[in-house]
């Protein structure tokens, strides 16, 4: 394995150079004087551990530690304290530092501490990789057999290997529909699990949100027809261009649509409106249905996974309410907002707002907190 990278941050040349000399035989050591340089260094090299003097001029030491942990929570930090400044050490530990070292330095103590901190980091990184791999495997193992079921049922349904009686056709349509529901459920459970594991990444690119919404609607055409729900779409003539993550956005819209269709009784209407909110630098997607609606009190609860209305409602519309929870969590993840207004027996109005510029380009104000 490569030598771990250690970043020494200290404004005084004495301790900075001592640490460099102590650590150099075993590690790649990068030493910087100013806090701002430390942050810059994090973007240049994959830092495994930082030693940090918390009492530095300029950007305060605790701020730097916060920034480091924001950059990568698995970077270990060791606080360097002057003689008798216990309070800064405690503050550092509170912010997630591994331990602290007091000056003057004890070489063996420092080396042992650094070794232990790096061991903890490695264990954590390995655990994360195992988790991600497990999720990827599970996802593949669950979807593969289901895609076989859907594949063969669609061959039968298209009457490619023989004619079906009406009853056979209807029975297979139910298998097909339920397989589709199971596929969506699996996707949602996996998305939620990845979100909880901190395993989702943003893949931002140029997309037309209007085209994306149209694609999502197409997936539900059959269901809309069957239920006799009229769905109308209003979108800007030039589309709704944005830079964002099309897969996440697609899942959000799909879940919201799925919900709207599910809770709108046969013969009623759904309206989808896509608009460029230029001032807010966002694209807004409104989905209004004339469904059963829900009491305001219940909306917050709907946003929690596995909760859904009361038991009578649950009997009428089965489902886990997972879709909305995933939609909300993903909306947070992409830096957007999701609002739901609903009135019982009148309908539900969902307003999704997605930033049209990537989070990284929007400046400090868009810094996300997970």
Partner 1 sequence: MRKILVVDDNRDNQDILTFRLQLMGGFEILVAYNGKEALEVASRARPDLILMDLRMPVMDGYEATQALRRTEWGKNMPIIAVTVGSTEEHREKALRVGCSDFIAKPIIDYSIIGKKIQELFAASGRAAEVASASSAP
Q: Does residue 152 belong to the site contacting partner 1 (CB under 8 A)?
A: yes
Q: What is the pattern of x (binds partner 1, CB under 8 A) and - over residues 221-250? A: ------------------------xxx---
Question: Could you tell me how many residues of this chain bind partner 1 (CB under 8 A)?
Answer: 20
Of 82 and 180, which CB lies nearer to partner 1 in the complex structure?
Answer: 180
Torsion angle, alpha carbons of 153, 155, 161, 162, to 10 = 60
Q: In the complex, what is the shortest distance from the CB of residue 142 to partner 1, in angstroms, rounded to a whole number? A: 9
Q: Which of 57, 84, 104, 144 binds partner 1 (CB under 8 A)?
A: 144
Q: Does 197 bind partner 1 (CB under 8 A)?
A: no
Nearest to 45 by CA among 73, 11, 75: 75
Relative to beta strand 5-9, strand 49-53 is parallel
SS3 call for 179: helix
**Rounded Cα gap, residues 98 and 91, in angstroms:** 12
Task: Tell me the C-alpha distance between 213 and 285, whole Å.
Answer: 9
Quick one: 106 or 133, whose CB is closer to partner 1? 133
Report the alpha-carbon distance of residue 175 to residue 239 in Å, rounded: 36
Instruction: Give alpha helix (H) positions in 230-288.
Output: 246-263
∠ Cα 280 286 288 (to 5°): 155
Q: Which is nearer to partner 1, 150 or 362 (CB)?
A: 150
Question: Which positions ≥6 away from 269 have C-beta within 8 Å?
Answer: 229, 230, 231, 232, 289, 290
Using rule CB under 8 A, residue 140 touches partner 1: yes
3-state percent helix, strand, coil for the chain, nearest multiple of 5: 50, 20, 30
CB-based contacts of 119, cutoff 8 Å, min separation 6: none
Which of 17-25, 151-159, 265-273, 347-355 is the region at the interface with partner 1 (rule: CB under 8 A)? 151-159
Question: d(Cα 163, Cα 169) in Å, to the nearest integer?
Answer: 9
CB of 187 vs partner 1, minimal distance in Å = 8
Residue from 13, 107, 197, 201 touching partner 1 (CB under 8 A): that is 201
If one asks whether residue 311 binds partner 1 (CB under 8 A), the answer comes out as no
Closest separation between CB of residue 156 and partner 1, Å?
11
Report the nearest approach of partner 1 to the CB of residue 71 (Å).
22
Smallest distance from partner 1 to CB 245, Å: 7
Verify binding: residue 125, partner 1, rule CB under 8 A: no
**Residue 183 near partner 1 by CB under 8 A:** yes
Give the residue carrying structure tokens 């079921």.
149
- Interface residues with partner 1 (CB under 8 A)? 139-140, 143-144, 146-148, 150-152, 154-155, 160, 183, 201, 203, 219, 245-247
């Amino acid at each position: 394995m490569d030598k771990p990278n250690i970043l020494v941050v200290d404004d005084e040349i004495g301790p900075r150079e001592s640490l460099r000399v102590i650590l150099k035989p075993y590690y790649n050591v990068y030493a910087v004087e100013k806090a701002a340089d430390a942050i810059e260094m994090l973007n240049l090299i994959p830092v495994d551990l930082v030693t940090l003097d918390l009492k530095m001029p300029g950007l305060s030491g605790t701020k730097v530690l916060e920034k480091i942990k924001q950059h990568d929570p698995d970077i270990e930090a060791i606080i360097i304290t002057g003689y008798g400044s216990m309070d800064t050490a405690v503050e550092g530990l509170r912010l997630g530092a591994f331990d602290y070292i007091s000056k003057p330095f004890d070489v063996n103590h420092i080396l042992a501490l650094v070794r232990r901190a790096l061991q903890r980091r490695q264990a954590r990184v390995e655990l994360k990789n195992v988790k991600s791999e497990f999720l990827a495997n599970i996802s593949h193992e669950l979807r593969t057999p289901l895609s076989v079921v859907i594949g063969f049922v669609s061959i039968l349904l298209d009457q490619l290997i023989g004619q079906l009686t009406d009853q056979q056709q209807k029975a297979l349509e139910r298998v097909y529909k339920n397989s589709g529901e199971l596929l969506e459920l699996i996707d949602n459970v996996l998305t939620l699990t990845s979100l909880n594991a901190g395993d989702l990444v943003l893949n931002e690119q140029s997309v037309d949100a209007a085209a994306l919404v149209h694609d999502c609607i197409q997936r539900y055409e059959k269901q809309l027809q069957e239920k006799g729900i009229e769905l109308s779409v209003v979108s800007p003539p030039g589309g709704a261009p944005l830079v964002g993550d099309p897969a996440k956005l697609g899942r959000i819209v799909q879940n919201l649509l799925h919900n709207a269709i599910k809770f709108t009784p046969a013969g009623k209407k759904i309206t989808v409106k896509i608009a460029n909110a230029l001032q807010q630098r966002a694209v807004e997607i409104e989905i209004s249905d004339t469904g059963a609606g829900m009491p305001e009190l219940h909306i917050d609860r709907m946003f929690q996974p596995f909760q859904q209305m009361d038991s009578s409602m649950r009997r009428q519309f089965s489902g886990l309410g997972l879709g909305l929870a995933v939609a909300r969590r993903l909306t947070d993840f992409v830096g957007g907002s999701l609002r739901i207004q609903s009135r019982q027996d009148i309908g539900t109005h969902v307003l999704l707002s997605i930033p049209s510029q990537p989070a990284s380009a929007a400046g400090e104000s868009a810094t996300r907190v997970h």
